[in-house]
Structure 1
Amino acid sequence: MLFLHGAGHFHPENVIDNDFLESLDIGTDANWTLQRVGIRKRRTVLPLDYIRHTRNANPREAEEAALYSNAKTGAMAARMAIERAGLRPEDIGLVVAGGCSPQFSTPAEASVIAAELGIEAPAFDMGTACSSFGTQLHFLSKMEPSALPPYVLVVNPENNTRTVDYNDRKTAVLWGDATSAVVISSQVPGPWRFCCSDFKTDPKGWDKVKIARGGHFVQDGAAVQKFAISKSVSMISDLDQRCNQPGDAFYFIGHQGNLRLLGSICKRMNIDGERHLFNVDEYGNGGAAGAPSVFSQNWDRFREGDRIVMVIVGAGLAWSGMVLSREAA
């Protein structure tokens, strides 16, 4: 059994709003953007002047221009999660990281984040793009408790605006930078219990979403949107049947790809607006950190007995999901 003890998030301070995108003269305006993706603002680790003057034509230059590294944003989200868990960095016995655009091919990003936090423990990466968080918890939950240390830190640093072509309105309107972190344990009970999970892939669609090394993010948007809606609906239904009692209400947190995608899922599953938690309208598509950052931002609202169904879709094509239950204080 897996327990979740603390969650954290970080969003950089620079804001890309719809007026800024309109000023780039790439064919967007506020109404077009809201109708297409339902996003008003996004966050970025890049200086706005850099985006304005270069349109990020060379993503390799974005590495130098960025105000934060993945290690820095990973550490900031991790510190919040560790503090909420009532722990210290030295209590962490394993660090796992993953996402869409790690800064290094080697070493593992988890090692760089662990070093930033002063954690001396094993560290490795496990990633399935935007669905990484669900994948990581799914596989960690399958491990024998004796195979894991008392506390594990899972971090998803997603500073993907470094890969965005700001001459391409189809992708420029989507991405925002975010980082999430959670502290979990298979040995020590905590405020959240991991009830069940799942992970699947459709490898033949691997080329529908990709970031070539040193290149820009590209995707077949229409195909990915259709796929994400279909797989999210089927996994929500399956997880609800497996892990919840008939008629149990739950909060839904989905992949923060865009608000139209999430609205379609909620409509098909009859999920009430008050039960749908999201932040994509104000922060953009946060990749693997999107859904867990929503969870972290709502950390204080949940009460004993609350349940969350979280489903995330990513490149690969991969999708993952889980049910979390709020335990007694």
Structure 2
Amino acid sequence: MLYLHGLGHFHPENVISNSFLEELDIGTNEEWIMDRVGIMTRRTVLSLDYIRSTKNSDPRAALEASEYNNAQIGAFSAQMALERAGLSTADIGMVISGSSASDHLTPVEASTIAAELNIDVPCLDVNSACSSFGMDVHVLSMMKPEALPPFVLIVNPETMTKSVDYSDRSIAVLFGDGSAAAVVSSREPSRSVFLSSFCDSKPTAWEKVVIPRMGYFRQDGHAVQGFAIRKTTDSIRTLQSVYPVNRFVGHQANLGMLRTACERTGIVEDQHWHNVEHFGNTGCSGAPAVLSQHWQDLTPGDHVAVCVVGGGLTWVHTLLKIEDSL
């Protein structure tokens, strides 16, 4: 059991529209994109002029060209989460981060985010690609309450567009950048609580989704799509067998994948919270950012199934319940 005290999110200002991608002359257009992935816009830390002029031909240069780094966008989302929790940075006793594409091999990204927030506390990363938020919650849920400080900050920054080859239409249409954060506690109660969590992986299939060091994102799209649908469907059904699930938030990979999982499990549209059509696939920040955008919509009695998948191949699900009172 892990109590949730606040959520935050951030998306950079630069918008990659479908018309912009069409102007890159990579063989795509609005109709093709909407039919394949259902994404209208994405956000990026890169300038549109940089993408237009280089198509990100050298992903190493994208680090220098970025208008924000992971620590900065992580801090932005963390500040929102702290404000919603009614806490300050002085209340945080540990920072945990997870990401699909960290800015540094060393140190851990949690340290760079904590430094951005001017927090000196224990820091560590728990990474499982796009399922990192779920894995962070799962790992903390398994720890003894007395082993943790009263409040822990989870931060999931993603700048996936730095790893995109903008001459490859199959990848260029998918990704956006963003960050999400959560303030949690295993000791201090709140009305929002993660009741249970589960994780598993299929490491023999790790090569299906890869970002090589200083390289481009690549995947076996057909295999990964099938995996995401199956594991998301199985996760929803598992939670439905135990809890009266009335909300669903999944990994924001693409709208078609999410809707197929909903159709197979009886999740109707007004129970399905998503933002992939406006922000693209923002890796592990996608699902918690959706929750954050609906922070004011969470009502007593809600049972939210949060089901995420990622490289590795990994999958995690957890159940967020909103209690009537403390």
Per the normalisation by structure 1, the TM-score is: 0.98
Q: Shift of residue 328 of structure 1?
A: 2.7
User: Of the candidates 293, 296, 302, which is equivalent to residue 298 of structure 2?
Assistant: 302
> Residue 111 of structure 2 aligns with which residue?
111
> Identity across aligned pairs (percent)?
51
Aligned equivalents of 2:112 and 2:8: distance in 1?
18
Matches within 5 A, 1:190-209: 190-209=190-209
User: Of the candidates 243, 252, 258, which is equivalent to residue 248 of structure 2?
Assistant: 252
Q: Shift of residue 249 of structure 1?
A: 4.2
For residues 27-86 of structure 1, the C-alpha deviation after alignment (integer angstroms, 9 at most, x for no partner) is 110000000000000000000000000000111100000000101000000000011000
Q: Shift of residue 240 of structure 1?
A: 2.2
Aligned equivalents of 2:297 and 2:228: distance in 1?
28
Unaligned runs of 5+ in 1: none
Matches within 5 A, 1:316-327: 316-327=312-323
> Residue 224 of structure 1 aligns with which residue?
224
SS for the counterpart of 1:300 is helix
SS for the counterpart of 1:165 is coil
Aligned equivalents of 1:269 and 1:239: distance in 2?
11
Does residue 31 in structure 1 map to residue 27 in structure 2?
A: no
> Residue 77 of structure 1 aligns with which residue?
77
Aligned equivalents of 1:249 and 1:198: distance in 2?
16
> Residue 53 of structure 1 aligns with which residue?
53
8 Å contact kept, 1:250–1:308? yes
Q: Shift of residue 262 of structure 1?
A: 0.5
Unaligned runs of 5+ in 2: none
> Residue 265 of structure 1 aligns with which residue?
261
Aligned equivalents of 2:132 and 2:247: distance in 1?
20
Q: Shift of residue 2 of structure 1?
A: 1.1
For residues 189-247 of structure 1, the C-alpha deviation after alignment (integer angstroms, 9 at most, x for no partner) is 012111111000001110000000000000000000001101111111112223x1xxx
> Residue 8 of structure 1 aligns with which residue?
8
- Counterpart AA for 1:325: K
Aligned equivalents of 1:100 and 1:272: distance in 2?
30
Aligned equivalents of 2:62 and 2:190: distance in 1?
40
> Residue 95 of structure 1 aligns with which residue?
95
SS for the counterpart of 1:231 is helix
Q: CA RMSD in A?
A: 0.7
For residues 270-318 of structure 1, the C-alpha deviation after alignment (integer angstroms, 9 at most, x for no partner) is 1100000000000000100000000000100111111100100100000
> Residue 284 of structure 1 aligns with which residue?
280
Aligned equivalents of 2:106 and 2:42: distance in 1?
29
Runs (4+) off by over 3 Å: none
